[in-house]
Amino acid sequence: MEWRASHILVKNRSQADEIYKRLKQGANFAALAKDFSSCPSKAKGGDLGWFGPGQMVKPFEAAVAKLGSGALSRPVSTQFGYHIIKKTGER
């Protein structure tokens, strides 16, 4: 199993919650990733490409595995900060 996902990575929970709220109201994911994410993937709208089990930290991988394709996660905490994840594929 492999997944494809995009994410927005920020340092604090309150900012993650605010971005999540904006996304639920219809804001563009890629645009918010470019504006707010601290990950280099922000240049690609947050796209992380394809990855399989064991390639991402456990909380991130667990969140992606549970999402349906096209679904958005609530903020997920890891040692890197808070991720808002959009699952874009599964194969």
Q: What is the pLDDT of residue 77?
A: 98
What pLDDT was estimated at residue 71? Answer: 97
pLDDT at 91: 96
**What is the pLDDT at residue 78?**
98
Angle at 86 between CA 66 and CA 16, to 5 degrees: 105
Distances from the Cα of 79 to the Cα of 7, 36, 73, 82, angstroms: 15, 18, 17, 8
- pLDDT given at position 64: 98
d(CA 27, CA 84): 13
Eight-state DSSP code of residue 73? P
Per-residue pLDDT of the chain (91 residues; tens, 9 = 90+): 999 999 999 999 999 999 999 999 999 999 999 999 999 999 999 999 999 999 999 999 999 999 999 999 999 999 999 999 999 999 9
Q: In the chain, what are the domain boundaries?
A: 3-90
In the three-class reduction of DSSP (H, G, I as helix; E, B as strand; rest coil), residue 50 is classed as: strand
Please report the pLDDT score of residue 73 as a whole number: 98
pTM of the model: 0.96
Q: If one looks up domain 3-90 in CATH, what number appears?
A: 3.10.50.40
Q: How many other β-carbons are positioned within 10 Å of the β-carbon of residue 7?
A: 26
> Is the distance from CB of 9 to CB of 37 less than 8 angstroms?
yes
